[in-house]
Amino acid sequence: MVEKTKAYIAGFLDGDGSIFLQLVRRKDYIFGFQVRASLVFYQKKSQKKILRWLIHKLRRGYLRDRNDGMSEYTIVGFKYVREVLEEVEPYLILKRKQAKLALRIISRLEGVNITSGFLLRIAKEVDKFAKLNYSKKRVNNIAILRKFFQQNASVPVSTDSR
């Protein structure tokens, strides 16, 4: 991708996008939660053409129309989010802290055997996104994860949450 395109996409992400790392409840996971990475670009449905252009340039993710007149282009997964962020991070201004934090967390998670203690340490890092993104709806955090581990004795728990 040419530098000008990377810079444009970074500006779009800064203004009309979000970088998310979230703890998501998953009943089919041994520790009950997963860390999900995603990038989302927003635009009015009438301006959806620019989101199609982004899909063409980034070659990953999906587009959906919301019921409130908005469209979202979403990229999910460590690999894809990392690849996009590595391309655009040098050009980000408003979301540079989120991008650097996301890249740091993703690099720690990729190819690692997850333990309860490790998940607690990562959850502490993921919780930083609530402040960086001014999150009001975030439900799952390190406290919920600890409570889950305490209530589910079959899950091996480490209290080390550095």
The residues annotated with a catalytic role in the active site are 15-16
Alpha helix locations (H) across 1-141?
3-16, 49-58, 78-88, 96-109, 116-126, 128-132
Which residue, 35, 10, 32, 33, is CA-closest to 108? 35
With H, G, I as helix, E, B as strand and everything else as coil, classify residue 103: helix
Rounded-to-integer distance, Cα 134 and Cα 128, Å: 10
Do the beta carbons of residue 87 and residue 3 sit within 8 Å? Answer: no
